[in-house]
Protein backbone atom coordinates (compact mmCIF):
# COMPACT_ATOMS: atom_id res chain seq x y z
CA UNK A 1 0.00 0.00 0.00
CA UNK A 2 1.73 3.19 -1.13
CA UNK A 3 1.83 6.31 1.04
CA UNK A 4 -0.03 9.18 -0.58
CA UNK A 5 -0.17 12.92 0.07
CA UNK A 6 -3.02 12.77 2.62
CA UNK A 7 -1.11 10.26 4.75
CA UNK A 8 1.97 12.48 4.77
CA UNK A 9 -0.13 15.56 5.62
CA UNK A 10 -1.90 13.78 8.50
CA UNK A 11 1.41 12.48 9.88
CA UNK A 12 2.92 15.98 9.73
CA UNK A 13 -0.09 17.51 11.51
CA UNK A 14 -0.04 14.91 14.29
CA UNK A 15 3.73 15.24 14.78
CA UNK A 16 3.54 19.04 14.88
CA UNK A 17 0.77 18.76 17.47
CA UNK A 18 3.01 16.52 19.57
CA UNK A 19 5.84 19.05 19.28
CA UNK A 20 3.54 21.79 20.58
CA UNK A 21 2.44 19.52 23.45
CA UNK A 22 6.11 18.99 24.28
CA UNK A 23 6.67 22.76 24.21
CA UNK A 24 3.74 23.31 26.55
CA UNK A 25 5.13 20.69 28.93
CA UNK A 26 8.53 22.35 28.94
CA UNK A 27 6.84 25.71 29.56
CA UNK A 28 4.97 24.29 32.54
CA UNK A 29 8.21 23.07 34.05
CA UNK A 30 10.49 26.00 33.23
CA UNK A 31 8.44 29.19 33.44
CA UNK A 32 8.84 31.15 36.68
CA UNK A 33 5.30 31.90 37.83
CA UNK A 34 1.67 30.86 37.66
CA UNK A 35 0.63 33.25 34.90
CA UNK A 36 3.33 32.33 32.38
CA UNK A 37 2.79 28.63 33.09
CA UNK A 38 -0.92 29.01 32.43
CA UNK A 39 -0.15 30.85 29.20
CA UNK A 40 2.08 27.98 28.03
CA UNK A 41 -0.50 25.39 29.01
CA UNK A 42 -3.42 27.21 27.37
CA UNK A 43 -1.70 27.99 24.08
CA UNK A 44 0.00 24.62 23.78
CA UNK A 45 -3.12 22.69 24.69
CA UNK A 46 -5.37 24.47 22.21
CA UNK A 47 -3.03 24.53 19.23
CA UNK A 48 -1.65 21.03 19.66
CA UNK A 49 -5.06 19.47 20.16
CA UNK A 50 -6.39 21.20 17.05
CA UNK A 51 -3.40 20.01 15.01
CA UNK A 52 -3.80 16.42 16.17
CA UNK A 53 -7.54 16.48 15.51
CA UNK A 54 -6.97 17.92 12.03
CA UNK A 55 -4.45 15.16 11.34
CA UNK A 56 -6.96 12.53 12.47
CA UNK A 57 -9.70 14.11 10.33
CA UNK A 58 -7.49 14.16 7.22
CA UNK A 59 -6.51 10.57 7.83
CA UNK A 60 -10.18 9.61 7.93
CA UNK A 61 -10.78 11.50 4.67
CA UNK A 62 -8.13 9.27 3.14
CA UNK A 63 -10.61 6.40 3.15
CA UNK A 64 -13.37 8.51 1.56
CA UNK A 65 -14.82 6.94 -1.56
CA UNK A 66 -18.05 8.03 -3.27
CA UNK A 67 -18.66 4.61 -4.78
CA UNK A 68 -18.61 2.92 -1.40
CA UNK A 69 -21.72 2.93 0.79
CA UNK A 70 -19.70 3.84 3.94
CA UNK A 71 -18.90 7.36 2.73
CA UNK A 72 -21.59 8.85 4.95
CA UNK A 73 -20.04 7.22 8.03
CA UNK A 74 -16.63 8.68 7.21
CA UNK A 75 -18.11 12.15 6.70
CA UNK A 76 -19.87 11.88 10.08
CA UNK A 77 -16.58 10.90 11.75
CA UNK A 78 -14.82 13.91 10.21
CA UNK A 79 -17.66 16.24 11.25
CA UNK A 80 -17.48 14.88 14.82
CA UNK A 81 -13.71 15.42 14.90
CA UNK A 82 -14.17 19.00 13.68
CA UNK A 83 -16.91 19.58 16.28
CA UNK A 84 -14.56 18.38 19.02
CA UNK A 85 -11.87 20.74 17.67
CA UNK A 86 -14.26 23.71 17.72
CA UNK A 87 -15.38 22.80 21.24
CA UNK A 88 -11.76 22.71 22.44
CA UNK A 89 -10.98 25.95 20.64
CA UNK A 90 -13.80 27.69 22.52
CA UNK A 91 -13.42 26.13 25.97
CA UNK A 92 -9.65 25.92 26.48
CA UNK A 93 -8.93 29.68 26.28
CA UNK A 94 -12.01 30.38 28.41
CA UNK A 95 -10.91 27.98 31.15
CA UNK A 96 -7.34 29.33 31.02
CA UNK A 97 -8.67 32.87 31.44
CA UNK A 98 -10.88 31.79 34.36
CA UNK A 99 -7.91 30.13 36.11
CA UNK A 100 -5.73 33.20 35.58
CA UNK A 101 -8.48 35.44 36.93
CA UNK A 102 -8.76 33.21 40.02
CA UNK A 103 -5.00 33.51 40.51
CA UNK A 104 -5.21 37.28 40.16
CA UNK A 105 -8.09 37.42 42.64
CA UNK A 106 -6.01 35.38 45.11
CA UNK A 107 -3.22 37.94 44.58
CA UNK A 108 -0.62 35.49 43.30
CA UNK A 109 2.62 37.32 42.66
CA UNK A 110 4.21 37.55 39.25
CA UNK A 111 7.85 36.66 38.75
CA UNK A 112 10.08 39.49 39.94
CA UNK A 113 7.41 41.16 42.10
CA UNK A 114 8.37 39.71 45.45
CA UNK A 115 7.32 41.79 48.43
CA UNK A 116 9.52 39.99 50.95
CA UNK A 117 12.64 41.61 52.34
CA UNK A 118 15.77 39.64 51.62
CA UNK A 119 18.40 39.59 54.32
CA UNK A 120 21.98 38.61 53.65
CA UNK A 121 23.44 36.60 56.48
CA UNK A 122 27.13 36.79 57.34
CA UNK A 123 29.40 34.01 56.12
CA UNK A 124 29.66 30.97 58.34
CA UNK A 125 32.96 30.24 60.06
CA UNK A 126 34.91 27.26 58.81
CA UNK A 127 36.59 25.01 61.38
CA UNK A 128 40.03 26.32 60.33
CA UNK A 129 39.30 29.94 61.26
CA UNK A 130 36.70 29.32 63.95
CA UNK A 131 39.17 28.98 66.81
CA UNK A 132 38.15 27.33 70.02
CA UNK A 133 34.55 26.39 70.77
CA UNK A 134 34.44 29.03 73.51
CA UNK A 135 34.89 31.78 70.89
CA UNK A 136 31.86 30.69 68.89
CA UNK A 137 28.56 32.42 69.76
CA UNK A 138 26.03 30.52 71.81
CA UNK A 139 22.67 29.71 70.18
CA UNK A 140 20.99 32.43 72.26
CA UNK A 141 23.52 35.05 71.12
CA UNK A 142 23.20 33.85 67.53
CA UNK A 143 19.38 34.16 67.63
CA UNK A 144 19.66 37.63 69.17
CA UNK A 145 22.07 38.78 66.46
CA UNK A 146 19.79 37.41 63.72
CA UNK A 147 16.76 39.21 65.13
CA UNK A 148 18.80 42.42 65.36
CA UNK A 149 19.82 42.01 61.73
CA UNK A 150 16.19 41.50 60.71
CA UNK A 151 15.12 44.65 62.54
CA UNK A 152 17.92 46.65 60.92
CA UNK A 153 17.04 45.33 57.48
CA UNK A 154 13.35 46.11 57.93
CA UNK A 155 14.19 49.66 59.09
CA UNK A 156 16.42 50.20 56.07
CA UNK A 157 13.78 48.80 53.74
CA UNK A 158 11.21 51.14 55.26
CA UNK A 159 13.48 54.16 54.95
CA UNK A 160 14.48 53.27 51.41
CA UNK A 161 18.22 53.12 52.11
CA UNK A 162 20.25 50.37 50.59
CA UNK A 163 23.10 48.81 52.51
CA UNK A 164 24.60 47.30 49.39
CA UNK A 165 25.36 50.66 47.77
CA UNK A 166 27.15 51.83 50.93
CA UNK A 167 29.12 48.59 51.02
CA UNK A 168 30.13 48.96 47.39
CA UNK A 169 31.43 52.50 47.82
CA UNK A 170 33.31 51.53 51.00
CA UNK A 171 34.85 48.56 49.20
CA UNK A 172 35.99 50.76 46.31
CA UNK A 173 37.62 53.25 48.69
CA UNK A 174 39.39 50.53 50.66
CA UNK A 175 40.78 48.86 47.53
CA UNK A 176 42.06 52.14 46.18
CA UNK A 177 43.84 52.85 49.48
CA UNK A 178 45.32 49.36 49.71
CA UNK A 179 46.94 49.27 46.29
CA UNK A 180 49.94 51.61 46.38
CA UNK A 181 51.21 52.96 43.11
CA UNK A 182 54.73 52.04 42.20
CA UNK A 183 57.13 54.64 40.99
CA UNK A 184 58.81 53.94 37.72
CA UNK A 185 62.64 53.89 37.82
Q: Residue 58 above 90 pLDDT?
A: no
Q: pLDDT tens across 69-107, in order?
A: 667 777 888 888 889 988 998 998 899 899 889 988 888
Q: Is residue 158 part of a domain?
A: no
Q: Structure pTM?
A: 0.54
Q: Is residue 38 part of a domain?
A: yes
Looking at the 3D structure of the chain, how many domains does it have? Answer: 1
List Cβ neighbours of 41 (8 Å cut-off, separation of 6 or more).
24, 27, 28, 96
Q: Is residue 172 part of a domain?
A: no
Q: Residue 65 above 60 pLDDT?
A: yes
Q: Is residue 153 part of a domain?
A: no
Q: Can you give the pLDDT at residue 179?
A: 47
Q: Is residue 13 part of a domain?
A: yes
List Cβ neighbours of 115 (8 Å cut-off, separation of 6 or more).
109
Q: Is residue 101 part of a domain?
A: yes
Q: Is residue 88 part of a domain?
A: yes
Cα–chain-centroid distance for residue 102?
18
Mean predicted lDDT score pLDDT of the chain? 75
Domain membership of residue 82 as a residue range: 5-105
If we measure between CA atoms, which residue out of 35, 38, 85, 41 comes closest to residue 60?
85
Running DSSP on this structure, what letter comes out for residue 133? T
**What percent of the chain shows pLDDT beyond 90?**
16
Q: Is residue 36 part of a domain?
A: yes
Amino acid sequence: MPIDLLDILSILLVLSGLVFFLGASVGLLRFPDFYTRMHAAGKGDTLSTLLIMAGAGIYELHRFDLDDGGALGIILVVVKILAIGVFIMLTSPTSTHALMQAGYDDQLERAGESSEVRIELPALHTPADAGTPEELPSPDEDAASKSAMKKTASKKAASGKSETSKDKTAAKKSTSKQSPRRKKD
